[in-house]
């Protein structure tokens, strides 16, 4: 059963499964947020009209299809799919989830909102490709996207899919990492927060729509989290003309007063967020540890409100750093700022399975398109060493081996003139000199080096 409203916002869809408890009775299970309570309106509706609802013609004739299209909203330009779970009894009629394709071609899964391309989306992408909704790479058909009416022509605009912090203007880096080439100046934080943070010409909604010139405004409470305490004030807001949603309003950027406006309800001082940046770049401090220290500082300062959760602070800090101009000016003298190929070092530790996305492969993976270097031949173990002659290599290793250095020594072969010159130079150096130690180490590395 799928329920919709008449408000200009995306519909919410839920799955309800019928489970026979006996030969004459059936129970229902819903995946909405109220499924564990008696207040689930979907289950109440099914129980009241079970016989009529179960007679409705099914969406798909297949017993348990991996994915099928529930609806397409011409106004919102979105496609909603029902997708089976890939674990447990999912492929045999078990749990299912909702996967959506927005007008701008973005896929989203209700069960995995914080991941990239999850395993649920794979079934929806395959179905959409077979149905002609998208191409083989999961990109929305331009003809279908063009059929979506413009927001200006609709009677009431839908809720935009983009949701971001209210603050959006560039934020300068902290003073301790400020460069002379930085264009932005850093605002001097006020000694105390103003009782009212008014709207200005840069005010916008979280959907990205900038406030028009003339609009009715109101005020609401606003909490600002500082480095040691939380402060309360009033913020001027106005209803967004694009969202038509009671929680989405125009709000001031507040960057000029050193505040990062998160959602018109809570703000964070630049001092607090830059403090974590300083700790993060100088020592290993995870988000949870920093939040714990803030909770203790708030307790010592008798803050009227406790500090936020670790999840909230993590999201706020990443959104804050995205607005900071942290360009160091470092670049390659040959390739410039954006080289075509970058070789980076990494760590060989495991990471969460939620980070797996489709098409992500290790750098060592090869394919039919991988380049082939014909100049490299595996050969034998000795042929790949810098000193291929085993006898000559043993002589050099014996020469540099502690504890003493022979006074009369010569190589049995002069096949490598450079090596012979380096050995003679090493023999003439004082034994305890720093240069002698450095040359000895160089000879050791030459013996161990492989091509």
Q: Give the contacts of 174 (CB within 8 A, at least 6 positions apart).
A: 186, 274, 277, 278
β-strand 218-225 against 266-269: which pairing, if any? parallel
Q: pTM score, two decimals?
A: 0.47
The values of phi and psi at residue 427, to 5°, are -70, -30
- What are the beta bridge partners of residue 230? 225
- What are the beta bridge partners of residue 185? none
Q: Are 235 and 252 in contact (CB under 8 A)?
A: yes
What per-residue confidence (pLDDT) applies to 354?
63
The CA-CA-CA angle for residues 76, 77, 81, to 5°, reads 100
What per-residue confidence (pLDDT) applies to 16?
81
Q: Give the pLDDT confidence of 293-308 residue by residue, as tens digits.
A: 999 999 999 998 899 8
Q: Where are the beta strands (DSSP E) in 62-195?
A: 67-73, 78-84, 96-101, 107-109
In the numeric block, the tokens 């299970």 are attached to: 29
The values of phi and psi at residue 29, to 5°, are -125, 130
What per-residue confidence (pLDDT) applies to 23?
66
What per-residue confidence (pLDDT) applies to 154?
35
The pair of structure tokens assigned to 362 is 């290790």
Q: Give the pLDDT confidence of 359-407 residue by residue, as tens digits.
A: 667 667 788 888 887 776 665 666 667 787 888 888 888 887 766 666 6
Residues in the chain with pLDDT < 70? 1-11, 23-24, 33-39, 54, 58-64, 73-77, 86-94, 113-117, 135-163, 183-191, 244-247, 328, 346-360, 362-363, 376-384, 402-408, 449-451
What per-residue confidence (pLDDT) applies to 240?
85
β-strand 218-225 against 107-109: which pairing, if any? unpaired
């Amino acid at each position: 059963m799928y329920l919709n409203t008449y408000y200009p916002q995306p519909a919410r869809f839920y799955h309800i499964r019928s489970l026979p408890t006996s030969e004459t009775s059936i129970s229902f299970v819903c995946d909405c947020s109220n499924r564990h309570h008696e207040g689930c309106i979907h289950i109440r509706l099914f129980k009241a009209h079970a016989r009529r609802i179960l007679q409705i013609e099914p969406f798909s004739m297949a017993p348990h299809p991996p994915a099928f299209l529930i609806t397409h909203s011409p106004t919102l330009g979105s496609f909603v799919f029902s997708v089976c779970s890939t674990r447990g009894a999912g492929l045999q009629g078990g749990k299912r989830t909702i996967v959506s394709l927005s007008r701008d071609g973005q896929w989203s899964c209700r069960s995995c909102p914080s991941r990239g391309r999850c395993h649920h989306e794979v079934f929806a992408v395959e179905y959409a490709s077979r149905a002609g909704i998208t191409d083989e790479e999961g990109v929305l058909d331009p003809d279908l996207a063009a059929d979506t009416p413009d927001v200006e022509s609709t009677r009431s605009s839908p809720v935009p899919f983009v949701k971001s912090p209210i603050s959006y203007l560039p934020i300068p880096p902290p003073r301790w990492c400020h460069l002379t080439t930085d264009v932005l100046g850093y605002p001097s934080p006020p000694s105390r927060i103003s009782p009212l943070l008014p709207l200005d010409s840069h005010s916008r909604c979280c959907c990205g729509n900038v406030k028009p010139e003339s609009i009715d405004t109101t005020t609401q409470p606003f909490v600002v989290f500082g480095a040691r305490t939380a402060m309360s004030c009033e913020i001027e807001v106005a209803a967004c003309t694009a969202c038509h949603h009671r929680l989405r309003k125009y709000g001031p950027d507040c960057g000029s007063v050193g505040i990062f406006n998160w959602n018109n309800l809570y703000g964070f001082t630049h001092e607090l967020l830059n403090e974590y940046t300083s700790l993060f770049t100088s020592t290993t401090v995870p988000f949870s540890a920093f939040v714990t220290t803030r909770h203790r500082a708030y307790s010592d300062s008798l803050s009227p409100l406790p500090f936020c959760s670790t999840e909230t602070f993590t999201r706020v800090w990443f959104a804050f750093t995205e607005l900071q101009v942290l360009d160091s000016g470092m670049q390659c003298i040959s390739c410039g700022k954006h080289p075509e190929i970058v070789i980076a070092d990494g760590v060989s530790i495991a990471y969460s399975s939620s980070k797996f996305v489709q098409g992500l492969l290790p750098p060592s993976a090869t394919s039919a398109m991988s380049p082939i270097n014909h100049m490299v031949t595996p050969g034998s173990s000795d042929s790949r060493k810098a000193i291929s002659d085993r006898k000559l290599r043993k002589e050099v290793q014996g020469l540099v081996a502690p504890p003493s250095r022979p006074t009369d020594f010569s190589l049995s072969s002069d096949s490598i003139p450079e090596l012979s010159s380096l050995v003679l130079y090493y023999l003439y150096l004082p034994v305890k000199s720093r240069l002698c130690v450095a040359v000895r180490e160089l000879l050791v590395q030459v013996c161990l080096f492989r091509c």
